[in-house]
């Protein structure tokens, strides 16, 4: 049996009969045709409705409970399941795309060929998905054959793929010659007198309604007949005149009858981005009816048929051309008809389909090649760029600047570098740990992320990337301890805690500020993570001893700055829980402006009355309105002019040879390298090329891992808080209230929570994993009052972040310096939290990427000077 052709189409088979129907109905003589249409909303179930409109053609109409248009990302899990079942019946198949938006579904296929029949520049159409250009770039990377529906499209694609073929829209002459019987006019014309000037086709943003209005007003006795569905525009905005007749969508079989009753055929297209590349199928169909044609200067019509079609640049010229067509002499008309017949004699849909079939047969099948094709993963990217999800066939490539890792730093570096960057990301989407996942209408980030920055450049980037897709809000961050909620930061909002706790905290703060008695001793050695916090009596003793010197470690910092009460009741237990290492092993250079440091007066005020105003650098923050924090990351993609390679895992780095080796066997030769991967992993990739001292330093770098348990709860508005810190007995140290980051993160009737659990193999292993960890989080959520016993959990999943927080131990600075100094000899630029081994927020990451791009330019200038 011949290979089936599995077609992904944005157009429905029973919509306007056009290029896909013409081609596929003819190819069905040689191949089974399976057409997968865009899904239809069905609130009850996921199912595949099928029907056969013609021999050897099966139309598949997915029905899903996702009320989102087209091949939207939210549809993909349902469509993947349906497609997986469908392809079982078609082991030998080709994939044929009319819309790049369906590209993620390719991962469910094992096609012998991939074909892209580009009939329109869909990205220029109204309401086009933001991902469309990006997915088209990826489709052009993986396609074996590319067809275009006109010369303009061909010119725009020919340099983007090595195997592009122009197949302009053709004609079924035998069908439209029926219009030559002028007595066979459609019954709809019965009450419409002549002369009739007609147009059929989709009436959308490509249709110049103002031109038609002016045409109707110029000659009220002319009758303008418009046949076709109104799509994407408000019908009430179309011109309403007594001599304009909207007849709606009509069957393909009836079109010759409409032509038979017309005196002039119109191509009244607006000149905008949506018509820049169009090649109207109806042009040749009008010619088959041998009627005068008047068109606006659409490129493919004007370039090919200006000797046949009257081309009018403005409304006045268009009206004049229609007048001339109606007044043309028989000889003038006969001259045009002769030219029409010569054009029609050289083309037909049958000929086009046969030429396409010959190309399908001539291209080597993927199973015959040495390198198998890999399917793209599901992208959640919100915009457009040159993204390649699939490994290309060649084994060696060159990158002027290679960037490892498409987290916020790598994205920023690629954005600031421009065309010369190749961004390599091992995952199937950009974002690093700033990614988001969606499940059953819930959006969850990889741990909690927010937007805040005092840097005007970063704030301008937020505006550039997200535009209106952002909302700013006052932070509602709280601490849950002693069975009550107090505002974050704990030390500035003691009001509401038990009186004895408030007293200890204030006395400790006073002692930390003004000193304690000389008899007090130095603080005891810290407990291991997970053990009970120090008692107030012994913990208080360190304050006076620390007065005369700077704190030597993080634990001393806590006692010296806040005092023993705050240390005992929050700072020590919480930070041990978070950092998962003894706090005396951490130094304090990383604190910077991250820890709010209220003075004694603020502590007293916060103890005597509720604190209304949030404190700290993120007291007001932003978050994407739609798409989770992923939206901020994906928004980089359309602005990146270089190449993004997804599913491109770097497994080897040779600084001496300036090469990168990928997991799929490909190699990149680079001039410049920016690494954002964790520093220990980078040294591991370099292997024996790195000196032992460098490898030892990398092995000594410490970090904290985080496991997130995401819970989707079947109850709305569980809390008004954004995140909550838990210093006491719960498995999680923080809950990020995903449902309040943006209302779009929740489905109707639901609310999302993310429980964050830090762990360390040495000091604080995870007590359990999988369902046991999820169950533990649910029980602890009930224990701390965030959930109720009767709450129904509709979504529960885990996200693991092996590298989450960098540990600032006392050896960190020296170890990083050893590694960085050696890498600098080979011009390797370290950028971002994990490569610089710094505590960076996402705004710092944006700036780190810019700084890395500047460093590349400086290296290039240095090399240029040296060469001179």
Segment 754-773, tens digit of pLDDT: 999 999 988 999 999 999 99
CA nearest neighbour of 175 among 285, 258, 266, 279: 285
Express as a percent the part of the chain with pLDDT over 90.
67
Q: Answer yes or no: are the C-beta atoms of 387 and 422 closer than 8 Å.
A: no
Structural Rg of the chain based on CA atoms: 33
User: Using CA atoms, how far apart are residues 479 and 807, in angstroms rounded to an integer?
Assistant: 23
Q: In this model, does residue 185 exceed pLDDT 50?
A: yes
What's the pLDDT at 595? 56
* E-state strands within 638-683: 643-645, 650-654, 659-662, 667-675
Segment 336-395, tens digit of pLDDT: 999 999 999 999 999 999 999 999 988 887 654 433 333 333 333 433 334 554 444 444
Q: How many helices (H) and strands (E) does the chain have?
A: 29, 34
Q: Answer yes or no: are the C-beta atoms of 439 and 727 closer than 8 Å.
A: no
What's the pLDDT at 541? 34
**Average of per-residue pLDDT across 527-545:** 32
User: Using CA atoms, how far apart are residues 92 and 355, in angstroms rounded to an integer?
Assistant: 22
For tokens 């762990």, the residue is 759
User: Using CA atoms, how far apart are residues 167 and 117, in angstroms rounded to an integer?
Assistant: 9
Between CA 275 and CA 204, with CA 20 as vertex, the angle to 5 degrees is 35
Lowest mean pLDDT across 83-97, 387-401, 662-676: 387-401
User: Using CA atoms, how far apart are residues 852 and 409, in angstroms rounded to an integer?
Assistant: 9
Q: Please state, in angstroms and as integers, the Cα–Cα distance from residue 692 to each residue in 598, 674, 837, following that order.
A: 46, 23, 19
- Percentages helix, strand, coil for the chain, rounded to the nearest 5? 40, 20, 40
**Could you tell me which residues are beta bridge partners of residue 443?**
438
Q: Please state, in angstroms and as integers, the Cα–Cα distance from residue 317 to each residue in 214, 244, 267, 271, 596, following that order.
A: 11, 20, 14, 15, 70
Segment 608-629, tens digit of pLDDT: 998 877 766 678 899 999 999 9
User: Using CA atoms, how far apart are residues 443 and 259, in angstroms rounded to an integer?
Assistant: 52
Segment 394-408, tens digit of pLDDT: 445 788 899 999 999
Q: Which residues neighbour 810 within 8 Å (Cβ) at sequence distance 6 or greater?
A: 553, 585, 586, 587
Q: In this model, does residue 489 exceed pLDDT 60?
A: yes
What's the pLDDT at 81? 87
Query: Between residues 570 and 108, which one has the greater pLDDT?
Result: 570
- CA torsion through residues 300, 305, 306, 309, sign: negative
**Average of per-residue pLDDT across 162-181:** 92
What's the pLDDT at 602? 85
What's the pLDDT at 389? 46
Greatest CA separation for the chain: 119
User: Using CA atoms, how far apart are residues 417 and 641, in angstroms rounded to an integer?
Assistant: 8
**pLDDT, the chain, mean:** 88
Q: In this model, does residue 529 exceed pLDDT 60?
A: no
Between CA 342 and CA 350, with CA 345 as vertex, the angle to 5 degrees is 155
Segment 822-868, tens digit of pLDDT: 999 999 999 999 999 998 888 899 999 999 999 999 888 876 655 55
Q: Which residues neighbour 652 within 8 Å (Cβ) at sequence distance 6 or greater?
A: 659, 660, 661, 685, 687
Segment 404-427, tens digit of pLDDT: 999 999 999 999 998 778 999 998
Express as a percent the part of the chain with pLDDT over 70.
91
Segment 779-816, tens digit of pLDDT: 999 999 999 999 999 999 999 999 999 999 999 999 99
Segment 45-88, tens digit of pLDDT: 889 999 899 889 999 999 999 988 889 888 888 898 899 888 88
CA nearest neighbour of 310 among 292, 328, 332: 292
Cα–chain center distance at 244: 43
Q: Which tokens hold the place of 195? A: 């002369």
Segment 7-40, tens digit of pLDDT: 999 999 988 899 999 999 999 999 999 999 999 9
Q: Which tokens hold the place of 496? A: 């509401």
**Average of per-residue pLDDT across 447-451:** 91
User: Using CA atoms, how far apart are residues 830 and 242, in angstroms rounded to an integer?
Assistant: 70
Q: Which residues neighbour 749 within 8 Å (Cβ) at sequence distance 6 or greater?
A: 714, 715, 716
Q: Answer yes or no: are the C-beta atoms of 517 and 578 closer than 8 Å.
A: no
Half-sphere exposure of 687 (CA within 13 A, CB side): 9
Q: Which tokens hold the place of 411? A: 């994205």
What's the pLDDT at 781? 98
What's the pLDDT at 597? 57
Q: Answer yes or no: are the C-beta atoms of 48 and 82 closer than 8 Å.
A: yes
């Amino acid at each position: 049996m011949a290979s089936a052709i599995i077609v992904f189409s944005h157009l429905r088979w029973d919509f306007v009969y056009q290029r896909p129907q013409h081609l596929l109905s003819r190819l069905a003589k040689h191949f089974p045709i399976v057409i997968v249409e865009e899904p239809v909303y069905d609130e009850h179930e996921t199912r595949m409705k099928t029907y056969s409109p013609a021999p050897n053609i099966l139309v598949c109409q997915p029905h899903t409970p996702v009320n989102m248009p087209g091949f939207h990302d939210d549809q993909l899990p349902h469509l993947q399941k349906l497609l997986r079942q469908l392809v079982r019946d078609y082991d030998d198949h080709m994939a044929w795309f009319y819309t790049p938006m369906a590209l993620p579904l390719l991962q469910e296929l094992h096609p012998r060929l991939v074909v892209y029949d580009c009939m329109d520049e869909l990205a220029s159409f109204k309401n086009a998905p933001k991902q469309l250009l990006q997915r088209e770039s990826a489709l052009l990377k993986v396609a074996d054959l590319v067809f275009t529906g006109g010369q303009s499209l061909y010119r725009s694609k020919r340099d983007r793929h090595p195997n592009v073929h122009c197949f302009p829209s053709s004609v079924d002459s035998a069908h439209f010659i029926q219009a030559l019987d002028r007595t066979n006019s459609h019954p709809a014309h019965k009450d419409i007198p002549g002369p009739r000037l007609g147009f059929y086709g989709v009436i959308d943003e490509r249709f110049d309604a103002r031109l038609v209005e002016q045409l109707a007003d110029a000659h009220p006795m002319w009758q303008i007949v418009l046949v076709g569905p109104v799509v994407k525009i408000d019908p009430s905005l179309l011109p309403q005149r007594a001599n304009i007749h909207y007849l709606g969508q009509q069957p393909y079989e009836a079109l010759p009858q409409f032509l038979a009753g017309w005196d002039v055929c119109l191509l009244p297209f607006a000149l905008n981005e949506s018509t820049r590349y169009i090649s109207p199928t109806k042009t040749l169909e009008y010619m088959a009816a041998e009627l005068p044609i008047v068109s606006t200067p659409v490129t493919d019509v004007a370039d090919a048929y200006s000797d046949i079609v009257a081309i009018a640049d403005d409304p006045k010229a268009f009206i004049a051309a229609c007048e001339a067509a109606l007044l043309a002499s028989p000889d003038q008309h006969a001259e045009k008809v002769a030219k029409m017949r010569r054009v029609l004699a050289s083309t037909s849909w049958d000929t086009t389909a046969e030429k396409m079939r010959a190309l399908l047969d001539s291209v080597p099948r993927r199973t015959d090649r040495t390198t198998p094709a890999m399917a793209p993963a599901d992208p959640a990217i919100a915009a457009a760029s040159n993204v390649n999800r699939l490994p290309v066939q060649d084994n060696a490539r060159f990158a002027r600047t290679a960037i490892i890792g498409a987290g916020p730093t790598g994205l920023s570096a690629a954005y600031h570098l421009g065309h010369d960057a190749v961004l390599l990301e091992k995952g199937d989407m950009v974002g690093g740990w700033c990614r988001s996942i969606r499940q059953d209408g819930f959006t969850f980030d990889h741990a909690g992320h927010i937007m805040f920055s005092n840097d005007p450049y970063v704030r301008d980037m937020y505006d550039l990337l997200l535009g209106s897709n952002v909302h700013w809000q006052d932070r509602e961050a709280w601490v849950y301890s002693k069975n009550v909620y107090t505002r974050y930061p704990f030390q500035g909002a003691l009001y509401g805690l038990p009186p004895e706790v408030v007293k200890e905290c204030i006395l400790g703060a006073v002692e930390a500020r003004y000193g304690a008695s000389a008899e007090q001793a130095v603080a005891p050695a810290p407990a291991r993570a997970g053990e009970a916090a120090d008692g107030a009596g012994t913990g208080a003793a360190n304050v006076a001893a620390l007065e005369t010197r700077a704190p030597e470690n993080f634990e001393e910092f806590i006692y010296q700055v806040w005092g023993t009460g705050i240390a005992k009741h929050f700072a020590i237990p919480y930070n041990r829980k978070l950092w998962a290492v003894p706090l005396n092993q951490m130094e304090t250079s990383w604190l910077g402006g991250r820890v709010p440091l209220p003075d004694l007066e603020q502590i007293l005020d916060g103890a005597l009355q509720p604190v209304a105003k949030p404190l700290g650098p993120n007291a007001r923050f932003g978050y994407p309105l739609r798409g989770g924090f992923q939206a901020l990351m994906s928004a980089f993609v359309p602005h990146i002019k270089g190449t993004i390679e997804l599913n491109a895992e770097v497994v080897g780095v040779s600084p001496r040879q300036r090469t990168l080796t990928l997991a799929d066997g490909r190699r990149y030769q680079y001039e410049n390298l920016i690494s954002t991967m964790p520093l220990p992993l980078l040294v591991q990739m370099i292997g024996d090329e790195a000196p032992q001292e460098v490898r030892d330093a990398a092995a000594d770098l410490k970090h904290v891992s985080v496991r997130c348990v995401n819970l989707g709860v079947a109850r709305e508005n569980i809390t008004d808080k954004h995140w909550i810190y838990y210093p006491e007995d719960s498995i999680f140290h923080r809950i990020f209230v995903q449902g309040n980051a943006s209302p779009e993160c929740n489905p109707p009737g639901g609310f999302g929570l993310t429980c964050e659990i830090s762990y360390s193999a040495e000091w604080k292993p995870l007590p359990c994993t999988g369902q046991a960890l999820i169950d533990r989080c649910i029980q602890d959520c009930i224990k701390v009052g965030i959930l109720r016993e009767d709450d129904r959990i509709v979504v529960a999943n885990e996200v693991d972040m092996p590298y989450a927080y960098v540990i600032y131990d006392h050896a960190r600075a020296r170890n990083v310096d050893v590694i960085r100094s050696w890498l600098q000899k080979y011009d390797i630029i370290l950028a971002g939290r994990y490569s610089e081994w710094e505590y960076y927020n996402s705004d710092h990451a944006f700036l780190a990427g810019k700084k890395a791009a500047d460093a590349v330019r400086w290296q290039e200038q240095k090399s240029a000077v040296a060469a001179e």
